[in-house]
Amino acid sequence: MIKKSKVVFIDNKIEKIFYKLDDNDPIKKSIIKAIKELKQNAFSGIQIPKKLIPKEYIKKYKINNLWK
């Protein structure tokens, strides 16, 4: 099943650091590739079992599923 999705940074500080990276940085290139894949297919990652999702994430971000 393919489901398009919206990709956002969970934290503004992280987003600012990402955009400060040089365009040739291999980490930035990898993140951009992952973002493109996730935008095309929200299920392209690996699902974290619900019992392994940190409780802090559930409280802070009000999530009920998590993918990496």
CB under 8 Å to 66, separation ≥6 — which residues? 47, 48, 53, 57
pLDDT exceeds cutoff 90 at 13? yes
State the pTM of this model: 0.71
**Domain residue extents for the chain:** 12-67
Distance CA 63, CA 25 (A): 31
What confidence tier does 15 reach under pLDDT thresholds 50, 70, 90?
very high
CB under 8 Å to 14, separation ≥6 — which residues? none
What confidence tier does 2 reach under pLDDT thresholds 50, 70, 90?
confident
Contact 44, 33 (CB under 8 A): no
pLDDT tens sequence across 33-59? 998 998 888 888 889 999 999 999 999
